[in-house]
Amino acid sequence: MKPLIAANWKMNPSSRKEAREIFEGIKKGVKNAKAVVVVCPPSVYLSELKGLALGAQNIYFEEKGAFTGEISAAMLKDLNIEYIITGHSERRKYFNETDELVNKKIKKALQAGLKVIFCIGETAVEKDAEKKYEVLERQLKEGLKGVTRDDSKNISVAYEPVWAIGTGNNCSVEETMSSVLYIRKMLVEMYNREIAEKIRILYGGSVKSDNSGGYIKKAGANGLLVGGASLNPEEFAKIVKSAE
């Protein structure tokens, strides 16, 4: 399975000009990449950027209608967007997204033919209280409730410990390995071994080019979700290389 390296630009950059510059830089840097590269910019830039697989950072679960401010799965599909990110801890925290809402978004995205990067991960408080596995299990089971075996092939699970996101305090290879193994075990229980082995498990949280290789080569992750470092095309290209 080829590694999948996704760039999560979050609410950056502030202009189309910068978005195009970063995107073109990434395109150049990953030209011969063997990994699957996906760029997830803010939605307003999605129709501007061409030449790499694109993902949206959010969708709404309703089909259409009176939902001011929201974007539907069908709209993204119509723009040839391939992926969406759901369950990100920033959306869980700042927009009160629950497991139930994440589940609705996942099901809608899959129904529309989008691939899903589904984020799960424990906070620092949950980690200190030794609740990591409990949290991962709940988020996985609730988030994937009703997702069929057939649809599960379009899911990647991103293990993103909340305490590691944007902090420079990336998760160790050993701890990532234990989380990846645990997530795989849960997926085997929820589906079966054959299916679970086809679902990519990514790592995210302060990934940089000097720590990225270990997650793929040692921790057993099948890809990376990169935030801050993905706004720097050279750094991002190095991360993509390190995963091959």
Report, in Å, the least distance between residue 188 CB and ligand PGA. Answer: 25
What are the helix (H) ranges across 30-143?
73-78, 89-94, 99-111, 124-128, 132-143
Stretch that binds ligand PGA, among 52-60, 131-139, 176-184, 224-232 (CB under 6 A): 224-232
Q: Per-residue x/- marks for ligand PGA, 94-133, CB under 6 A? A: ----------------------------------------
Determine if 166 is a binding residue for ligand PGA (CB under 6 A): yes
Rank residues 45 and 203 by Cβ distance to ligand PGA and give the closer one.
Answer: 203
> Two tokens at 179?
């989380």
Which burial class, exposed, middle or buried, applies to 170 when counting CB atoms under 10 A from its CB (0-12, 13-18, 19+)?
buried
Determine if 224 is a binding residue for ligand PGA (CB under 6 A): no
The residue number whose beta carbon is nearest to ligand PGA equals 227
DSSP letter string over 160-173?
--GGGTTTS-PPPH
Report, in Å, the least distance between residue 224 CB and ligand PGA. Answer: 9
By CB under 6 A, what part of segment 1-30 binds ligand PGA? 8
The answer to whether 97 is a known catalytic residue is: no
| Marked catalytic residue, from 24, 160, 189, 197 | 160
Determine if 204 is a binding residue for ligand PGA (CB under 6 A): yes
Q: What letter would DSSP give residue 120?
A: E
The dihedral formed by the CA atoms of 138, 190, 133 and 244, expressed in degrees to the nearest 10 = -120
The answer to whether 82 is a known catalytic residue is: no
> Two tokens at 198?
């086809």
Strand ranges, E, within the chain = 4-8, 36-40, 53-56, 83-86, 115-120, 155-159, 200-204, 223-226
From the list 41, 55, 205, 233, which residue makes contact with ligand PGA (rule: CB under 6 A)? 205
* Contact in structure between 137 and 190 (CB atoms under 8 Å): no
From the list 207, 219, 221, 237, which residue makes contact with ligand PGA (rule: CB under 6 A)? 207
Report, in Å, the least distance between residue 193 CB and ligand PGA. Answer: 28
Distance CA 163, CA 160 (A): 8
Residues binding ligand PGA (CB under 6 A): 8, 160, 165-166, 204-207, 225-229
Catalytic amino acids?
88, 160
